[in-house]
């Protein structure tokens, strides 16, 4: 059994607001993408790596990854697409014929621990074809009534005011992370079916599991890890710097 990791690193990091694409921002001296690539390698369950780079930065990204002594698996860098979904699809086209399992991971989650990477990949290898890590949700979450003719018929709402439609049971909610692992054929099928719906950031899937769900196939959740939190804003970045120090790595 051979596993490919697609490491998404083609985003611009607009919400982080630094003057570099997010994946290249140094965390304790190492670019985020390199932290993530090292952990994928250290998991021992990843045989090859495809990294998506921002347009025009393929060779910069290659330089970062190819000369790192801790990234001991073959690395291919490809130009990403305009959405995360299309970046993953671009990465998938570079999977060698012998790959049967694909794990998709975000460079924006640089500290996802090796044990967690093993957990999702091994659960796929044990026969569950789509496996994602998730954490219990601490806040009560509300689902809003969609804006549209039905909502308007109830009376116009002022700007900044939304009506609540329902409250899902918190015990049934999970905040999901990456890495997400899949049987290769299933992930390819999910991306082919999802490609038509993904023209813009607003319509593209924000994770790969939702494309599998859209096929009507089962997706399974295993325990996530706080260390796998995503760096979106500057506050996340400073928090993760602190986590890294406490984690001793
Ligand atoms: N990503 C990608 N290709 C894109 C957009 C995003 O490979 N066209 C990757 C990012 O590099 C990141 C992951 O998908 O590792 C999650 O995306 P996000 O956190 O939204 O990162 P950015 O798109 O870089 O950030 P922002 O949305 O604030 O610009
Ligand atoms: Mg983004």
pLDDT at residue 18 is higher than 90: yes
Which residues have a Cβ under 8 Å from the Cβ of 191 and sit 6 or more positions away? 85, 88, 89, 92, 208, 211
With a pLDDT cut of 90, the percent of the chain lying above it is 87
- Residue 21 has a pLDDT of 97
Helical (H) or strand (E) element with 33: helix 32-42
Q: Which residues pair with residue 143 across a beta bridge?
A: 166
Helical (H) or strand (E) element with 30: strand 30-31
Question: Average pLDDT for residues 136-160, to the nearest whole number?
Answer: 83
pLDDT at residue 9 is higher than 60: yes
| Nearest bound ligand to the CA of residue 230 | 1
- Residue 23: pLDDT band with limits 50, 70, 90: very high
CA distance 189 to 207: 15
pTM for this entry = 0.95
pLDDT at residue 225 is higher than 90: yes
The pocket of ion ligand 2, defined by CB under 5 A, consists of 11
Q: Is 194 in the pocket of ligand 1 (CB under 6 A)?
A: no
Mutate to test the pocket of ligand 1, among 6, 22, 207 (most ligand atoms within 8 A of CB): 22
- Residue 248 has a pLDDT of 60
pLDDT at residue 202 is higher than 80: no
Digit-coded pLDDT (tens) for 151-200: 666 667 888 899 999 999 999 999 999 999 999 999 999 999 999 876 67
Ligand 2 centre to CA of 126 (Å) is 32
93-113 burial string, b = 16+ CB within 10 Å, else e?
A: ebbeeebebbbbbbbbbbbbb
Digit-coded pLDDT (tens) for 90-130: 999 999 999 999 999 999 999 999 999 999 999 999 999 99
């Amino acid at each position: 059994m051979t596993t490919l990791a697609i490491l998404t690193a083609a985003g611009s990091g607009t919400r982080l607001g630094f003057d570099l694409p997010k994946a290249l921002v140094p965390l304790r001296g190492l670019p985020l993408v390199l932290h993530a690539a090292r952990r994928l390698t250290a998991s021992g369950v990843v045989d090859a790596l495809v990294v998506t780079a921002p347009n025009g930065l393929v060779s910069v990204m290659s330089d970062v990854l190819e000369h790192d002594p801790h990234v001991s698996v073959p690395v291919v860098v490809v130009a990403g697409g305009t959405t995360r979904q299309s970046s993953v699809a671009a990465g998938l086209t570079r999977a060698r014929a012998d790959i049967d399992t694909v794990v998709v991971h975000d460079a924006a989650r640089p500290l996802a621990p090796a044990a967690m990477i093993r957990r999702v990949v091994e659960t796929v290898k044990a026969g569950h074809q789509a496996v994602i890590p998730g954490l219990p949700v601490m806040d009560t979450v509300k689902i809003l009534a969609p804006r549209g003719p039905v909502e308007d018929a109830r009376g116009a709402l002022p700007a900044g005011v939304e009506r609540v439609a329902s409250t899902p049971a918190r015990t049934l909610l999970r905040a999901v992370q990456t890495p997400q692992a899949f049987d290769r054929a299933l992930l390819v099928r999910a991306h082919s079916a999802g490609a038509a719906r993904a023209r813009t950031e607003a319509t593209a899937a924000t994770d790969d599991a939702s494309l599998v769900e859209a096929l009507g196939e089962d997706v399974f959740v295993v325990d996530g890890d706080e260390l796998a939190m995503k760096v979106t804003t500057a506050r996340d970045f400073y928090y993760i710097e602190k986590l890294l120090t406490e984690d001793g790595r």
